[in-house]
Homo-oligomer: A and B are copies of this chain.
Amino acid sequence: MKAENKLENKSIVLKKNTNYKNFPMVPRVVFGRGSFGQLADILLPKRKNSDAPFIFLVDDFFENSDFADRIPWLFNDQIIFISADEEPKTEQVDYLVEKIRADYDELPSGIVGIGGGTLLDLAKAVAIMLGNKGTSDQYQGWDLVQKPSLYHVGVPTISGTGAEVSRTAVLLGPEKKLGINSDFTTYDQVVLDPDLLATVPNEQWFYTGMDCFIHCVESLNGTYLNAFSQSYGEKAYELCKEVFLNDLATEEAEEKLMMASWHGGMSIAYSQVGVAHAMSYGLSYVLGTKHGIGNCLVFQHLEEFYPEGVMLFQQMLHKHQIILPKNVCSNLTEKEMDVMIEVAYSMEALWENALGTSWKEQLSKEKLKSIYQKI
Contact = CB atoms under 8 A, between A and B. Distances in A.
A149 to B, nearest CB: 14
A335 interface: no
A23 interface: yes
Nearest to A259: B231
Contacts of A263: 231, 235
Nearest to A27: B27
Contact of A30 (B22, B34, B65, B195): B22
Contacts of A232: 235
B38 A198 contact: no
A11 B67 contact: yes
A14 B34 contact: yes
A89 to B, nearest CB: 26
A296 interface: no
Interface residues of A, number: 65
Contacts of A228: 31-32, 192, 259
A44 interface: no
Interface in A260-290: 262-263, 269-270
A31 B270 contact: yes
B31 A16 contact: no
B227 A259 contact: yes
A23 B230 CA distance: 24
A69 B11 CA distance: 10
Looking at chain A's contact residues, is the secondary structure mostly helix, strand, loop, or mixed?
Answer: helix
Given A20-B30, A24-B27, A34-B16, A227 B195 contact: no
Contact of A198 (B6, B42, B230): B6
Number of copies: 2
Contacts of A105: none
A194 B227 contact: yes
A30 B38 contact: no
B35 A18 contact: yes
Given A18-B35, A42-B22, A227 B29 contact: no
A99 interface: no
Contacts of A239: 231
A370 interface: no
Interface string A1-23: 00110111011011111111111
A24 to B, nearest CB: 6
A305 B16 CA distance: 48
A255 interface: yes
B29 A23 contact: yes
Given A6-B198, A6-B199, A234-B235, A38 B14 contact: no
A235 to B, nearest CB: 4
B25 A227 contact: no
A42 B16 CA distance: 17
A159 to B, nearest CB: 11
Given A24-B28, A235-B234, A66 B34 contact: no
Given A17-B34, A231-B235, A235-B263, 12 more contacts: A3-B199, A7-B198, A11-B66, A11-B70, A14-B195, A16-B37, A18-B32, A22-B28, A23-B28, A25-B25, A31-B228, A227-B252
Q: A-B pairs with the 5 shortest C-beta distances?
A: A227-B255, A20-B32, A18-B34, A11-B66, A31-B228
7 contacts: A3-B61, A16-B37, A18-B32, A20-B31, A23-B31, A32-B270, A231-B259
